[in-house]
Amino acid sequence: MKTIKIITAAASIAILGFTSCQSDDNTEIGTNPNANYSTSTTASNYERAAMNDGSDDDFLDGNACTELLFPLTATVNNQQITLLSSLDFSSVINIMSEFNDDSDSVTFNFPIRVRTSNYTEVTVNNQSELDALNQECENAEAQGKDAISCVDINFPVTMLTYDISLEQTGSVVLQSEQQLYSYMTGLESDELFAVNYPISATLSNGTEIQITSDAEFQNAISECMQYEDEKEDAANTAAEVEAVLSGTKFKVETFINDGVDTANDYAEWSLEFTNDLKIVATNVVNSALGEIEGTYSVSSETEAFVNVNFASNTALSALGNNWVISTYSTTLITLQSKTDASVTLAFKKL
């Protein structure tokens, strides 16, 4: 999950629906210490937080800087599908998740339309043009011009306006991210502003916070971006562990509960993790015992998890748990119970 968006070379969107008025409210004329220039860190923070978010469809276009517009048609893993709205994303995800050891492919039926980070709508005529947008997105991230999508400002927000002498010239009420983005990118060098705090914002973890200063907004951004980095790291871990497990046979190397290692109870069993999220356990000593089938799934939040499930009346039911991935390699995966850190399990590749 990426959290970047790009400022493209297209012209800024005009500010629509702003209200401006001369006012002495909430400030002392000529003495506001929080007035910011267009080149200030605060201006950059609000501009980046207000960019159009194109990250929800990254699993299709691989580009957090562009929002795909509907309708569009694409071929996903050799299956053609027409998307009329974001509600159709689930159909694409179902196709992609059918097997976990294949390489998912998406081919668009061009032309398609996208909305960029500065709210400009662009027609993309072929894969080369889409690749160029993806490269712009990567360049923006490398240059520190990426957007901040982990803080959603709750509108309306009022900006108090000043001249270079710090004399208040009025106020502007902004009703949306697009208006905020246009305001920030339209500031002239002799125009200053101060945010009329407090404002509220919703973080990507669902927490709503009150912000009372530019410094608090900067802190909120730093904290939520760290949270997003943790989520991305966990998602990468989950993907890598799923690739290690899929289509491979393992044995129980250790299973420690209450300080006792009971791995010997499972020494006769091999466990194959199939590419359709099943576990097929086979007794390698006594074939008459047949096979025991369970399921597994790999997921992530700010940690990565492997959920293992066997029916309660089987020889392997005790392995069922939601396990936190502790360490992993191509041959050994160590896990810890999500609810009891003293319970650990390790799978070793056969």
The 112-115 sheet, strands edge to edge: 67-68, 112-115, 121-124
Beta-bridge partners for 21: 171
Closest C-alpha among 58, 210, 205 to residue 133: 58
Contacts of 316 (CB under 8 A, 6+ apart): 266, 269, 271, 281, 292, 294, 310
Q: What is the pLDDT of residues 313-343, one digit of tens each?
A: 999 999 999 999 999 999 999 999 999 999 9
- Listed by start position, the domains of the chain span 1-235, 246-349
Residue 252 · residue 271 · CB < 8 Å: yes
Q: Structurally, what CATH architecture does the domain formed by 246-349 represent?
A: Beta Barrel (2.40)
How many Cβ atoms sit within 10 Å of the Cβ of residue 62?
14
> What is the reported pLDDT for 144?
77
- pLDDT for position 28: 38
Residue with tokens 């896990």: 335
Q: Are 328 and 241 in contact (CB under 8 A)?
A: yes
In this structure, are residues 247 and 102 in contact, taking their beta carbons and an 8 Å threshold?
no
How many CB atoms are located within 10 Å of the residue 285 CB? Answer: 9
216 phi-psi bin (left φ>0, alpha ψ -120 to 50, beta other): alpha
pLDDT, tens digit only, all 350 positions of the chain: 333 333 333 333 333 334 333 333 333 334 466 799 999 999 999 999 999 999 999 999 999 999 999 999 999 999 999 999 999 999 999 999 888 877 899 999 999 999 999 999 999 999 999 999 999 999 988 887 888 999 999 999 999 999 999 999 999 999 999 999 999 999 999 999 999 999 999 999 899 999 999 999 999 999 999 999 999 999 999 999 999 999 999 999 999 999 999 999 999 999 999 999 999 999 999 988 889 999 999 999 999 999 999 999 999 999 999 999 999 999 999 999 999 999 999 999 99
Strand partners, 296: 308
- Can you read off the two tokens belonging to residue 253? 């190397």
